[in-house]
Amino acid sequence: MPRGSSRIAAALGSPRRASRGEEDGEGVGPGVLRKGTSDMSFEELLELQNKVGTKTYKQLVAGNNTKKPSSRPPVQNACVADKHRPLEMSAKVRVPFLRQVVPISKKVARDPRFDDLSGEYNPEVFDQTYQFLNDIRAKEKELVKKQLKKHRSGQEHEKLQQLLQRMEQQELAQQERKRQQELRLALKQERRARAQQGHRPYFLKKSEQRQLVLAEKFKELKRSKKLESFLSRKRRRNAGKDRRHLPLNKE
C-alpha cells in the first residue's frame, strides 16, 4: 500500500469499523476519523475529501483546528429591565466620578424680546397696548416728588433726585420716540396719497429723515421758548469738543 493511502486509512480508521458503519447506514462520522490530517499533503487531503464527503471533511478539519476554551468568563453587557431603573454596572469597571443616575430635564430660558414666538415688534401696537403704563409712571413721579420734599438733604435726597432725573429723561425719550413715530406716519400717509394720484413713490433717506426730525425739534423748542438755552448748550458742547482737538501749548 502506498504511503498516502496508509495515511488516509489511518485518518479514516480501520476498514472493519468503516465497513461496519456503512452496513449500519450511518456512514463515517466525525468521531471515527482520527486527528492525523496535519501531516498529510494537499493531494492526500483532496483524496480524503472525495472519500468521506465535504461535510465530514470540514468537521474533521475543524476538529483539528479547535482552540482551547478560555478560562475567563464571557463579559455580559449591562442591561436595563425598565427604562426608569438605574443602569446596572459591572463591579470590575470603575464608576466615573460624575454619573447621571436620574435624567434631569434642562430648563431652557426664553427671552420674549428675541424670540420669534412673541411675534414681530411694532412700536405703535406696543404703545397702544401698554398705554396704561403712562398713568402709573405719572403717579410714581408725583410720589417721588413728595418724598423729595420730605428729605431736604442727605443720602436719601440724592437717591430720590437721581431717580426723579432718570424718570424725567425716560419721559423725554418717550416723547421724542412718539414724535418720530408721528412723523413717520405722516410721511407714510403722504406717500400713499401721492401713489393714489398716480405719482411714483419716493422714499426719504435716513439723512433727510434726521433733518426733518431736527426741524420739528427746533419748531417745538421755539414754541416753548427754550430755543436759546438749547443753542447755548449746543455751542458750549461743540466748543469743548474743539478744545480737545487743539494742540497743547508747550512752555
What's the N-to-C CA distance of the chain in angstroms? 129
Q: Which helix (H) or strand (E) holds 237?
A: helix 227-245
Q: For residues 179-199, give the mean pLDDT.
A: 86
Closest by CA to 8, choosing from 41, 55, 56, is: 41
CA distances 187 to 8, 49, 60, 157, 177, Å, are 110, 101, 99, 45, 15
Gap between the Cα atoms of 188 and 84, Å rounded: 61
Q: What is the reported pLDDT for 11? A: 58
Q: Is the pLDDT of residue 166 over 90?
A: yes
Gap between the Cα atoms of 45 and 54, Å rounded: 11
Q: What is the reported pLDDT for 63? A: 63
**Cell for 43?**
493531494
Cα angle vertex 9, ends 8, 10, to 5°?
A: 90
Please state the domain extents for the chain.
Answer: 3-64, 122-242
Closest by CA to 47, choosing from 108, 85, 2, is: 2
Q: Is the pLDDT of residue 239 over 60?
A: yes
Gap between the Cα atoms of 143 and 164, Å rounded: 10
Closest by CA to 63, choosing from 22, 24, 29, is: 29
- Kindly write down the DSSP assignment for every residue of 151-175, as one continuous string: --SSHHHHHHHHHHHHHHHHHHHHH
Residue percentage of the chain with pLDDT more than 90:
10
Query: Do residues 78 and 87 touch, judged by C-beta distance below 8 A?
Result: yes
Gap between the Cα atoms of 221 and 230, Å rounded: 8
Which amino acid, one-letter code, is at 247?
P
Which pLDDT tens digit goes with each residue over 205-234? Answer: 888 888 888 888 888 888 888 888 888 888
Mean pLDDT of the chain: 76
Gap between the Cα atoms of 114 and 128, Å rounded: 21
Which pLDDT tens digit goes with each residue over 42-94? Answer: 788 888 888 888 888 777 777 654 455 555 555 545 455 677 887 777 788 77
What predicted TM-score, i.e. pTM, was given to this entire model? 0.45
Q: Which of 90-104, 152-166, 167-181, 196-210 has the lowest mean pLDDT?
A: 90-104
Give the count of alpha carbons within 13 A of 124, CB side only: 7
